[in-house]
Copies of this chain bind each other. A is one copy, B any other.
Amino acid sequence: MHGSAAPLDTGPESVDAKFRALAEPRRREILRLVAGGERAAGEIAAEFEVSRTAVSQHLTVLRESGLVSERREGTRRLYRARREAVRELQAALDGIWADALDRAKSLVEES
Query: Which residues of A come within 8 Å of B, CB atoms?
Result: 8-10, 16, 19-20, 22-23, 25, 28, 31-33, 35-37, 81, 83, 86, 89-90, 93, 96-97, 99-101, 103-104, 107
Contacts and interface: CB of A to CB of B under 8 A. Distances in A.
Nearest to A26: B8
User: Which label, helix, strand, loop or mixed, suits the secondary structure of the A interface?
Assistant: helix
18 contacts: A8-B25, A9-B25, A19-B19, A19-B22, A19-B23, A22-B23, A31-B96, A35-B96, A35-B97, A35-B99, A36-B101, A36-B103, A36-B104, A37-B100, A37-B107, A81-B97, A86-B93, A90-B93
Q: How many copies does the complex hold?
A: 2
Contact of A100 (B10, B20, B32, B89): B32
Contact of A96 (B86, B93, B96): B86
